[in-house]
């Protein structure tokens, strides 16, 4: 997605807190690249916030390329309007899981696959675990990162168990909680699973997540750093 206008003041409780925080120097160093990308949009009128493709677009080198898969027609039109001008970006109107099957392995030895499902389907966790396992067996040197909500602890635990048993050798799990999770409240805890996590990511997470929990947390903040598998 491209930058979307904020209809509420939600950004005040997220990136607004990060921008105003007086965190330790090592924490500021880690979050500064993100702030530099997002802050100009937030400062606009009306304030806007860029989705993950918009943020990712600011990071590649000149020789890098991005392939984005989006099945929802309106979201695809937004992608094309905001990113279609960039020669490094290829847009495909298709399901992301189908894209994993069709596009891997790429010609590059290294790269990142970002999986950001809507988690609207009841079997999303099972589908994601199977897709990551099959993709890794096709392209074992790639980095795979999947975002997930923590609404049902049992469903998340089953997902982690399935991932740990699919043969992947290096998986890092990170979670951030800003309040006690509850079915009657907005999402308060979410996480990332990273296959083949980059060097020093776990060490940087140990610096960053406790600070983020303190800055963004309200009520019952917390975090988790866990190696599901590792060599």
Mean pLDDT, 10 residues at a time, the chain of 231 residues = 56 85 92 91 86 87 91 92 87 94 91 92 93 94 95 92 88 93 83 95 96 88 88 59
Q: Does 204 share its domain with 116?
A: yes
Residue 74: its pLDDT value, please? 93
pTM score, two decimals? 0.90
- Burial class for 60, CB neighbours closer than 10 Å (0-12, 13-18, 19+): middle
Residue 43: its pLDDT value, please? 87
* Residues 6+ positions from 227 with CB-CB distance below 8 Å: 171, 172, 173, 202
The count of structural domains within the chain is 2
In a domain, 186, yes or no: yes
Residue 206: its pLDDT value, please? 96
Catalytic residue among 86, 116, 152, 218: 116
Contact yes or no for 181/151 (Cβ under 8 A): yes
Q: Does 144 share its domain with 227?
A: yes
Q: Does 19 share its domain with 131?
A: no
Residue 33: what are its φ and ψ, rounded to 5°? -60, -40
Q: Does 83 share its domain with 133?
A: no
State the number of CA atoms in the 13 A half-sphere of 189 facing the CB.
19
Would residue 218 show up in a list of annotated catalytic residues for this protein? no
Q: Among 227, 223, 169, which Cα is nearest to 196's? A: 169
Residue 7: its pLDDT value, please? 46
Contact yes or no for 173/159 (Cβ under 8 A): no
Q: Does 133 share its domain with 178?
A: yes
* Residues 6+ positions from 32 with CB-CB distance below 8 Å: none
For residue 186, give its domain range: 106-231
């Amino acid at each position: 997605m491209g930058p979307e206008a904020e209809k509420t003041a939600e950004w005040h409780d997220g990136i607004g807190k990060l921008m105003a925080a007086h965190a330790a120097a090592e924490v500021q160093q880690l979050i500064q690249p993100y702030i530099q990308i997002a802050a100009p949009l937030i400062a606009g009128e009306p304030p806007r916030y860029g989705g993950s493709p918009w943020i990712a677009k600011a990071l590649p080198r000149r020789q890098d390329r991005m392939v984005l898969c989006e099945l929802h027609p309106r979201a695809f039109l937004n992608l094309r309007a905001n990113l279609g001008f960039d020669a490094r970006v290829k847009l495909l109107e298709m399901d992301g899981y189908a894209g994993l099957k069709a596009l891997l392995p790429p010609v590059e030895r290294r790269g990142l696959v970002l999986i950001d499902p809507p988690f609207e389907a009841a079997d999303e966790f099972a589908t994601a675990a199977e897709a990551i396992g099959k993709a890794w067996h096709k392209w074992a040197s790639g980095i795979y990162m999947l975002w997930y909500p923590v609404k049902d602890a049992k469903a998340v635990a089953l997902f982690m168990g399935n991932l740990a048993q699919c043969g992947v050798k290096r998986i890092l799990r990170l979670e951030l909680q800003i309040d006690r999770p509850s079915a009657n409240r907005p999402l308060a805890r979410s996480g990332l699973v990273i296959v083949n996590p980059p060097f020093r990511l776990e060490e940087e997470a140990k610096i960053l997540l406790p600070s983020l929990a303190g800055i963004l947390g309200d009520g019952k903040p917390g975090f988790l750093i866990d190696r599901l598998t590792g060599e």
